[in-house]
Structure 1
Amino acid sequence: MLPLASRSLTAGSAIASASRNGVASLIQARGYAAKHGPPAKMQKQGFINKSKKRRNPQDKVDPKKFKRTPAFKPLPMNVMKNPLLTEGRTELQLPTFHPEALIESNIAKVMEFPLESNVINRMGVPKNLNIEYRLLAKPCAVVRDITLTTLDKLDAASSQSSKDNRVVLTGSSGCGKSVVLLQAAEYCKGRGWIVMYVPRAYHTVDSSTTYVYDSRTRTYVQPKFSWQILRRFLDVNSALLQELKTTNEFPVERKAPLAAGSTLVNLINIGLQEGSLAPSVLSTLMSELSQQTKYPVLLALDDFQALYTRTTKYRDPRFEAIKPYHLSVPRLFLEYASAKRTFARGAVLGALSQGRFLLETPLELCESLGLPYPKPAGPYVKRIPELVEYSQGLQKLAVPEKLSIDEAASVFDVWNHDKALHSIPDDDLFMSKYSEASGNARAFVWKGLLATLTT
C-alpha cells in the first residue's frame, strides 16, 4: 500500500497523462498532429521503401517529369512515317463550325470546331466527349435540327433579359445533350457573346476542392474552384472583358482598393493573385456582367441537376451534409437559374446528365420541368422549399432520343475515315450498328462503331 503522498503524486501523474492524451487525441482528430511513420511490421515486410525521400515542397519540380501524356492522343499526319499507319489514310477535312455555316442546308453535316476557339481548350468538355476527341483527329460534332432550334433561342435572347431565357436541355442518357450545349457555347463565342461554360458542374458539390465557412455571407466559400472558373473565364473572354469597367469600388485586404472604372480584367487578376479573394471576385464579376448591356452573356452548365441535389459530399464541422445552396459556387449558379439574379442581356442554358455519377434528377427539378420521376412521388413526399424556389420558371427543351439516318451516316463516315472500324464499312454494318443502338448517339459510337475494334 502506497503512502498518501505517493498515491496523490501517482494520481496527479495519471490525470496529467490523461490530459495530455486527451489533447493529443483532440489535435489528431482535427488533423493538426504530425503524421507518424508506418508501423515497423510493414517496414520489415518490405511494404515501405525507406530509401524514398519525401519531396520538399520548396524544391523546383521538373515539368517534363510530371507531365501527363493523355491516352489515345491522335498523331498528326506529318509525324506518322510508318507505311502501316499512313496507307490509305488522308487528312480529315471537315467544314468549320462557324455561326454563318449553321443553316438548314447544313443539317446532318459534321463540322470541326475552330482551332482558334478557346472554349474547348480552356474551359474543357465532359469526360466522355474528352475521350472521343482524343480518339478523333479533330474535335467535331454533327449539326442537328435541335442544334439550330437551340441557337435560334439564343439569338432571340441576345437582346432580352435572362429572366425569360432559362432553358434546360432534357432527354434520355446519351441522346446528345452535352454536345448541343457545347455547340451553343461555341456558337455564342463566335457571335461575340461573353461565355461562361462549366462542363462538369458535378465538381461543385462532390467535395473535390477546398471550402471555408464565411461568417459574412453565412455560406461555405470554395476558393480553389472559384479560382479555376476565373482563370478559364479570363482566357476565353479577355478581349471583351478589357472593354468593360467596374461600377463600384472593390475592397482588397491590406492593399489599396480597386477603384471604380477599372477593367474587369484587373478585377479578375485580383482573384487570381489572391486565391482567398476568388469567391468574392467571382460574385462581383457576375454582378458587373449582370448590369452591363454591351455584350450578351451565356451561362452554360452541364450536369445541371447536380446543383439541385438534396445533399452534397461536403460536410460541416458536425459531419452533416452541406446543402448545395449553402456552397458559394452552386448558390451563385442557382440564383441565376432561378432569376433571383439576371443578366440584362443573355441566357442561362443547362443540360441534364442522366446516368453519370449515378446522380438522378431530384423531384423538385422534375416537377418544375414536367419530367417523369423514376420513383413514386405523391403529395406526402417531402419537398425542399429552397430547391422548389430555385427551380421555378425553368423551360424544358427536349433533345430527340435518336439520331436521324442522315446524321448517323455522317458520324459513321467520320469514324470510318479515321480508321476506327475493324469491319468492312458497308451499308449492312451501318444499319446493324444503328439498329443495335436504337439510334442513340452515344451508344451508336461507343457500343456500335468502337465495339468493332474488339471483334
Structure 2
Amino acid sequence: MSFFSAARPCASLSAFREAGLLLHSRLYAAQAKGGPMKRHGQGFKGNRGQKLTKKQRRMEIMQKYKSPGAFVPLPAGQLKHELFQSERLDELDNLPSFNAEDLTERNLGNALAFPLAENDAIRVFGMPRNVLLDFRILSKAASVVRDVTIKLVDQLQAASQESSQGNRFVLSGPTGCGKSFLLIQGVEYAASAGWVVMYIPRAINLVNSSTPYSYDLRTQTYLQPVFAQQTLERFCTVNKHALDSLVTEDKIELDAGSSLPEGTPLLKLIDIGLKDQTSAPTVLVALLEALGKQTTVPVLLAIDDFQALFTKTAYKTPHFQTIRAWHLSMPRLLLEYASGRKAFARGAVVGALSLSDKTYGLSQELRYALGLQPWLRPSPYLKAAPEITTFTRGIQLVNVPEKLNVNEAASLFEVWNKNKSIHATGNDELFLAKYTESGGNPRDFVWKGLLSTLQT
C-alpha cells in the first residue's frame, strides 16, 4: 500500500501540507500575491515590478509557503492506519541497561541499552554523525558488548588508579569496524562508574572554522571562546554530581589580573567561564589542571575524530595563511593531555581515528608517527611537522577487529529485528546471507545488509 493512497491524485499543495507532508518542487508555475511573475532578462519581476534574481525569487516562494526546508514527520496521533499499528513496538525496552558492573565476560556478545538520562554523557556532549543516525532509527539506543569492549574496560579499570601519563590510547581499525561505538561504550562505562568525563564527539568541528576565533598574545594561540564555553556548560551538566565535592588545590590566575584562592569549588570556577565568554578558554585550561591534581575521582578525556587534531585547519591568519590545528587553543589543550605533556593523577585519555571524512583524514605522517604503517615512511619531498611526532609520543594503539564474530553479529541482528527495521523474515538464512555479504563489517552489516531490505 502506498503512503499517498489516502490523498486524491489531483490533491493540491495545501492538501498535502494539511496531511503533514512537505513536497519540494521547482514551482515553475508559482505566482506571487500580486499576480504572475514575468520573465525579464535573467531575473524575474516581483509584486512591485522590481527585477528579482533567482535567489530572491526562491526566497519569496519559500516565505509564501513557509517551508522549513526539510521533511516534517507526522504526529504519532495521526498515524491511525493499520500499516502503522503493531502489537509490540517496545521490545527493545526489555534490553538490560548499560552499566559498569555488567561489562564482564558474562555479557560478552549481548546487547545492552544506553539509559540516556537527562545528564547522560553522550546525550549532552553529542555523538558522531554515523552513530546518531543509528540511534535515530532504533527506538532505543543500544550496542553489543564485544571482546574489544571488555579489553578497553579492563584498561580503564587499571587506569582508574594510575596516572594518565601511561594510559593514553587511540582506537584504530578499518572503516566501519566500530571505533566510535567502542569509544562511546568507554565513555558510558566511565560515567556509570563515577568518573569525571569530558567527551569530544566531533573533533572536526574544532578545525573546520565553524566557530569564532581570535589571537591571544599571552598564549600565542588562537582562542575559541564559543566552543570552550559550550564545552564547560556540557561538562558541568554531565559531571555536576562529582564536581560538588571537588575544590582547587592551588591558587588559579585568570585573565585581567584576577585570581581564585586555593580551595575554590570547581563549580564556582566553571561558573566564571559560563558568565564571561572571553574567559572561557582560560577557565577550561584551569579546570583540567585542577582535575589533574586531585586524586578523589578518576578523569576520562575521550576524543573522536582524533586525526583532525593533526591536520591543516580551515582557519586563516590575517595574512590568509592556513593555521595548523595545534595553534588553536582547543586542539592544543587536547593534544597536551594526549601527548602526556599534561596528565591526570588518576585517569586516561582515549581517542578514536575516523576515516569517513577525507578533508580531515588520516595523513601519511600521522600513520607513521602512530605506528600504523611503520614500513611506509612519509614522502621525503614533503616537510613533516615535528609537532606530529611530539604530540603522538607514547600513545598506545588499540586495534578494533574489522569483523564481528558470529555471536556479536547475531545479537546485532536481533536488535534490529526487534526494532522492526528489517523488511523481510528475520530467519537464519537472512542473517547468514547479510553477514556473508558484509564480510562481518559492523557498519556494512547494518546499512548495506539489514537496512537494504527496506528497498526490496
Is TM-score (shorter-chain normalized) higher than 0.5? Answer: yes
2:333 aligned residue? 332
Change in 2 beyond 3 A, CA 1:450/1:174: same
2:84 aligned residue? 85
SS of residue in 1 equivalent to 2:199 = strand
Please tell me whether residue 388 in structure 1 is matched to residue 395 in structure 2: no
1:61 aligned residue? none
Change in 2 beyond 3 A, CA 1:374/1:408: farther
Measure, in 2, the Cα distance between the counterparts of 1:183 and 1:308. Answer: 25
Matches within 5 A, 1:25-424: 43-45=50-52, 47=54, 48=56, 82-91=81-90, 92=92, 93-116=94-117, 118-246=120-248, 247-251=250-254, 253=256, 257-309=259-311, 311-372=312-373, 377=378, 381-424=382-425
Which residue type is aligned with residue 415 of structure 2?
A: V
Contact kept, 8 Å, 1:72 with 1:135, in 2: the verdict is no
Change in 2 beyond 3 A, CA 1:172/1:50: closer
SS of residue in 2 equivalent to 1:347 = strand
Measure, in 1, the Cα distance between the counterparts of 2:395 and 2:281. Answer: 26
Deviations 1:110-163 (A, max 9, x none): 100123251121011100111111110011100000000000000000111111
Measure, in 1, the Cα distance between the counterparts of 2:210 and 2:145. Answer: 34
- C-alpha displacement at 1:362, in angstroms? 2.4
When you count strand as a share of all residues, which structure comes out higher? 2
Contact kept, 8 Å, 2:405 with 2:440, in 1: the verdict is yes
Contact kept, 8 Å, 1:300 with 1:348, in 2: the verdict is yes
Report the number of matched residues: 402
- C-alpha displacement at 1:444, in angstroms? 0.6
SS of residue in 1 equivalent to 2:322 = coil
Measure, in 1, the Cα distance between the counterparts of 2:53 and 2:305. Answer: 44
Deviations 1:90-129 (A, max 9, x none): 4122011011111112111110012325112101110011
Q: Which has the larger radius of gyration?
A: 1
Uncovered stretches (5+) of structure 2, i.e. residues with no partner: 1-41, 45-49, 61-65
- C-alpha displacement at 1:423, in angstroms? 1.7
SS of residue in 2 equivalent to 1:89 = coil
Cα RMSD between the aligned structures? 2.9
Uncovered stretches (5+) of structure 1, i.e. residues with no partner: 1-39, 53-64
Residue identity over aligned pairs, in percent, reads 46
TM-score by length of 1: 0.82
Contact kept, 8 Å, 2:369 with 2:388, in 1: the verdict is no
Contact kept, 8 Å, 1:198 with 1:301, in 2: the verdict is yes
- C-alpha displacement at 1:252, in angstroms? 5.6
Measure, in 2, the Cα distance between the counterparts of 1:122 and 1:188. Answer: 15
Change in 2 beyond 3 A, CA 1:442/1:327: same
Change in 2 beyond 3 A, CA 1:386/1:115: closer
TM-score by length of 2: 0.82
Deviations 1:155-206 (A, max 9, x none): 0001111110000001000000000100000000011100001110111111
SS of residue in 2 equivalent to 1:301 = strand
Change in 2 beyond 3 A, CA 1:395/1:79: farther
- C-alpha displacement at 1:365, in angstroms? 2.6
